[in-house]
Structure 1
Amino acid sequence: MNIFCVGRNYANHAKELGNALPQQPVLFSKPSRAFVETNGQAISVPQHLGQVHYEIEVVLKIDREVKQGESVWDVVSQIALGLDLTLREVQKELQTKGHPWLRAKGFKHSAIVTPFWDIREQEAYNTEFSLLKNGNLAQKGQIKDMIFNLQTIIDECENCFGLGEGDIIFTGTPEGVGPLHSGDLYQLYWGKEEKGRFTVE
């Protein structure tokens, strides 16, 4: 499994971090050991390295090897919700030095994902996703608000890296990111349906 991610794909999120809007998708990856599936468990994160920020995202699962120009809905039949976790202070330091983001984005448990479920195109574009932190709304968004749509993301990832069965893609986060703390409860919602939850160890 490869884990690909898109950064700065919602305008208001880019603005809240003081970043310019990208002219092409900002792509990065995470190691497979970053992946952890939610089942209501306590998940450990490296808070000793500084603030760890949550970023809720729609996650695509690739069904099979993708050929250039194929429709996203020909190669994606399931999605999930995920949290792309970021060591924010580490990321800022790396950006200042012009270094890659891997240390800030690729640590163990930095790709928290709900179980995947079957999806159809119309539902995907018309459903709001959200993150609750200790019962309070922290983030919400919709796929249709992305700067780069799902087809562009699939095409760009396939062209740059190739895509095959089991690969997953984090598609970007809306505004409202913030730090996790020990004991926090996080719930990930697709519409009114809770798809996953976990606590921070």
Structure 2
Amino acid sequence: MRDIQNIFCIGRNYAQHAKELGNEVPSSPILFTKPTNALALADGQTLSYPNGKGEIHHELEIVLKIGSAKGSTHVDERVVEMALGIDLTLRDMQSELKKKGHPWERAKGFRNSAIVTPFWAFPGVEAIETVLFSLQKNGETLQEGKSTDMLFNFQRVLDECEQAFGLSEGDVIYTGTPEGVGPISDGDVFTLLWDGQEKGSFKVSM
């Protein structure tokens, strides 16, 4: 995790997720960032979160890691590894910030809000199109999806991040969450699965 340079995120990249929050389905990718201080590894550890700031929602995502293939713009050449991640959101705070027209960072960038499993080799876009990824809370499946459910595919997401921020080796992209987001609570145990296989887990302390 020490080699991660920047954390870029895509908002509302699954239509049903946008609808469940009462948001418009976007016509172009919504981009935001998180500080690297927000990173936490889903290696079975207990992660601490604040009380008294409203609900904190889990958002399961595919995470892409950029390699050093300079001069190439194709996903299969620029992305070297992938993981599953959770983008945590202070939902009540985010709603208030949006009402005021303020940036989201305070609701998105708090400590331990960018959870990620260990990375593994990226097999290419086509190889994962039919693979189901999912999130369990205390053994119950809450979120699941496939990369083909995204409004903006990996190539579009990479192109948007490259144009907006520039991409360098070690940057990671959280590519958006499917429907089923909801609050975390003290004592919850979350498990992140790829094709039915556990890739990481963590326990919540509040």
TM-score band by shorter chain is over 0.9
Q: 1:31 aligns with which of 29, 35, 47?
A: 35
Residues 69, 77 of structure 2: 8 Å contact kept: no
- The whole-number CA distance in structure 1 between the counterparts of 2:51 and 2:70 is 37
Q: Note the residue ranges of structure 1 that are not aligned, 5 or more in a row.
A: none
Q: 1:118 aligns with which of 103, 107, 121?
A: 121
Letter in 1 for 2:139: G
Residues 56, 81 of structure 1: 8 Å contact kept: yes
Q: Which moved more, 1:173-182 or 1:45-54?
A: 45-54
- Structure 1 residue 38 displacement after superposition: 1.3
Letter in 1 for 2:17: H
TM-score (norm 2): 0.95
After superposition, where does 1:1-201 map in structure 2 within 5 Å?
1-64=5-68, 67=71, 70-121=73-124, 122-201=126-205
Q: Note the residue ranges of structure 2 that are not aligned, 5 or more in a row.
A: none
Q: Secondary structure at the match of 2:73?
A: coil
Residues 84, 117 of structure 2: 8 Å contact kept: yes
Deviations 1:144-185 (A, max 9, x none): 110000000000000110000100000000000000001000
Q: Report the identity percentage.
A: 54
- Structure 1 residue 65 displacement after superposition: 6.0
Residues 66, 162 of structure 1: 8 Å contact kept: no
RMSD: 1.0
Q: Secondary structure at the match of 1:40?
A: strand
Deviations 1:101-142 (A, max 9, x none): 000000010000000001212332121100000000010000
Deviations 1:63-94 (A, max 9, x none): 12654x61011011210000000000000000
- The whole-number CA distance in structure 1 between the counterparts of 2:90 and 2:156 is 27
